[in-house]
């Protein structure tokens, strides 16, 4: 294992150069041309470091990249190359390496993870059994890649997700996510002359915000958060339409089902008002049981590499790892860059941690490839 660490430390300049190329190729999820160009850059890096070109999978004009080495059914490395940063963000957040930190839009979430993935594979002699899947729509909920991710997970015995790591901790649990849109219909009237003839959707909206908020269960880890709301057109008109968006996070599938049933059971409070809900469960939870065996393996390797103790953490945010865990495949998340500031002005990566985290990924992959075949949903004996 010391040879792996030495090789990746020696290769740090090349890793930084690949990260610079990825970060400078801006790729907001909604800009298909930009995402496609970043896919080409990622494909070139992966081809150079593994010696194999990817399969280019097009989903409604949005590319995904897949590598399968040999059977490709032992371990899947999963990541994405889209970001939340619009084209032009480099002007205010330039790529820079200074004071032990690397900065630039999307560096932490998760272009560093993409570069680390390929550098980790580059130090392994045998990749038979490895698959790599990189997608371009994770930040918008994987609308075109979800089925591909789930199918790839089902044929694989373990999934390593190269999402970023706050403070170096791996993400051993993620909450499931649901999203709802509510449209309220009422009746307009003059607010001064005859407000009693109207059905006020702002008032109904207030009732529904309170009812939805009451569905939360902090003891169970369930949050129900009304977010974006709108109602009305002018100050002197009883509003006849209102809209609301609702974010739900849950720790268990049972809670996700409970909230979904409760949301759709809501009824209007005002006579004459009507409610129309859209949306529902989006990503299932990634429970601790899905990551436990892989995390134990990662913790052992981390110590053997001389890096000390490795922590695991439960988080409220979702990733494509939720989908692979939901497909029944053991999944370990947060194996990408160590740093912070995802989606924020202070987004950054800790440079010294780059080869260390790549070494952990390489050692995990090598270990998983050595394990004898197990049944579906198992890492192996």
Mean pLDDT for the stretch of residues 313-340: 96
Give the pLDDT band (50/70/90) at residue 330: very high
What pLDDT sits at residue 187?
Answer: 98
Work out the average pLDDT over 89-101: 97
Say whether pLDDT at 39 is over 60: yes
pLDDT value for 380: 58
The verdict on residue 375 lying in a domain is no
Q: If you average pLDDT over residues 154-181, what whole number do you get?
A: 96
Active-site hit among 138, 260, 320, 333: 138
Question: Could you tell me if 152 and 296 lie in one domain?
Answer: yes
Q: Would residue 381 count as lying in a domain?
A: no
Per the structure, the complete domain to which residue 185 belongs is given by 176-283
Write the CATH number for 330.
3.40.630.10
pLDDT on residue 59: 77
Among this protein's residues, is 320 annotated catalytic? no
Q: Assess if residue 31 is contained within a domain.
A: yes
Domain boundary among 259, 283, 307: 283
Residue 377 falls within a domain, yes or no? no
On whether both 183 and 313 belong to a single domain, the answer is no
Question: In the predicted model, what is the mean pLDDT of residues 125-144?
Answer: 96
Say yes or no: 289 and 273 in one domain: no
pLDDT one-digit tens code per residue, 108-132? 999 999 999 999 999 999 999 999 9
pLDDT at 379 over 80: no
User: Pick the catalytic residue: 26, 82, 139, 152?
Assistant: 82
- 66 found inside a domain: yes
Q: Does the residue 28 lie in any domain?
A: yes
- Domain closes at, from 238, 261, 283: 283
pLDDT reading at 284 higher than 60: yes
Question: Predicted confidence band at 374 (pLDDT cuts at 50, 70, 90)?
Answer: very low
Both 249 and 293 in one domain: the answer is no
Q: How confident is the model at residue 179 (pLDDT cuts 50, 70, 90)?
A: very high
Residue 50 lies in a domain: yes
- pLDDT value, residue 376: 42
- Same domain? For 241 and 267 the reply is yes
Same domain, 26 and 124: yes
% of the chain surpassing 70 pLDDT? 97
**Are 104 and 206 members of one domain?**
no
Residues 355 and 278 placed together within one structural domain of the fold: no
- Residues 22 and 120 reside in one and the same domain: yes
Same domain, 249 and 192: yes
Last residue of one domain, picked from the residues 262, 283, 304:
283
Lowest-confidence segment of 6-10, 328-332, 366-370, 372-376 by average pLDDT: 372-376
User: Count of domains in the chain?
Assistant: 2
CATH number of domain containing 263 = 3.30.70.360
Residue 376 falls inside a structural domain: no
Higher pLDDT, 268 or 374: 268
Q: Is the pLDDT of residue 141 over 60?
A: yes
3-state secondary structure the chain: CHHHHHHHHHCHHHHHHHHHHHHHCCCECCCHHHHHHHHHHHHHHHHHHHCCCCEEEEECCEEEEEEECCCCCCEEEEEECCECCCCCHHHCCCCEEECCEEECCCHHHHHHHHHHHHHHHHCCCCCCCEEEEEECCHHHCCCCCHHHHHHHHHCCCCEEECCCEECCCEEEEECEEEEEEEEEECECEECCCCHHHCECHHHHHHHHHHHHHCCCEHHHCEEEEEEEEEECCCCCEECCEEEEEEEEEECCHHHHHHHHHHHHHCCCCCCCCEEEEEEEEEECCECHHHHHHHHHHHHHHHHHCCCCCCCEEEECCCCHHHHHHHCCCCEEECCCCEEECCCCCCCEEECCHHHHHHHHHHHHHHHHHHCCCCCCCCCCC
Regarding whether 155 and 143 lie in a shared domain, the answer is: yes
Mean pLDDT score across all residues of the chain: 95
At residue 378 the predicted structure's pLDDT band, cuts being 50, 70 and 90, is: low
Active site residue 138: yes
Q: Per-residue pLDDT averaged across 197-206, rounded?
A: 98
Q: Answer yes or no: do 156 and 59 share one domain.
A: yes
pLDDT at 57 > cutoff 90: yes
Structural contact between residues 280 and 178, judged by C-beta atoms closer than 8 angstroms: yes
pLDDT band with cut points at 50, 70 and 90 for residue 375? very low
């Amino acid at each position: 294992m010391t040879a792996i660490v030495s090789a990746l430390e020696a290769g740090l300049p090349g890793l930084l150069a690949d990260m610079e190329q990825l970060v400078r190729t801006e790729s907001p999820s909604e800009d298909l041309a930009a995402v496609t160009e970043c896919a080409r850059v990622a494909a070139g890096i992966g081809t150079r470091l593994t010696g194999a070109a990817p399969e280019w999978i097009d989903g409604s004009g949005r590319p995904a990249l897949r590598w399968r080495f040999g059977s490709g059914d032992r371990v899947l490395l999963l990541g994405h190359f889209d970001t939340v940063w619009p084209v032009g963000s480099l002007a205010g957040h330039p790529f820079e390496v200074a004071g032990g930190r690397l900065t630039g839009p999307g560096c932490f979430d998760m272009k560093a993870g993409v570069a680390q993935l390929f550098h980790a594979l580059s130090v392994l002699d045998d990749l038979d059994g490895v698959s790599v899947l990189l997608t371009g729509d994770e930040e918008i909920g994987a609308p075109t890649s979800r089925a591909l991710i789930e199918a790839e997970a089902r044929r694989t015995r373990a999934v390593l997700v190269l999402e970023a790591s706050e403070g170096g901790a791996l993400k051993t649990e993620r909450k499931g996510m649901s999203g709802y849109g509510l449209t309220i219909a009422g009746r307009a009237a003059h607010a001064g002359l005859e407000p009693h003839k109207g059905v006020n959707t702002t008032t109904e909206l207030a009732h529904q915000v309170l009812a939805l908020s009451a569905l939360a269960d902090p003891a169970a880890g369930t949050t129900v958060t009304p977010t974006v709301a709108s109602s009305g057109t002018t100050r002197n008109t009883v509003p006849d339409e209102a809209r609301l968006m609702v974010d739900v996070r849950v720790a268990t599938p049972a809670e996700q089902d409970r909230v979904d049933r409760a949301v759709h059971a809501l009824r209007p409070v005002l006579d004459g008002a009507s409610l129309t809900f859209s949306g529902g469960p989006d990503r299932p939870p990634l429970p601790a049981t899905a990551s436990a065996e892989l995390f134990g393996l990662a913790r052992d390797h981390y110590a053997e590499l001389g890096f000390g103790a490795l922590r695991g953490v439960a988080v409220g945010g979702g990733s494509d790892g939720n989908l692979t865990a939901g497909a029944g495949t053991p999944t370990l998340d947060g194996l990408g860059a160590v740093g912070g500031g995802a989606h924020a002005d202070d987004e950054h990566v800790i440079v010294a941690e780059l080869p260390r985290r790549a070494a952990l990924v390489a050692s995990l992959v090598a270990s998983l490839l050595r394990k004898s075949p197990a049944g579906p949903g198992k890492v192996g004996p």
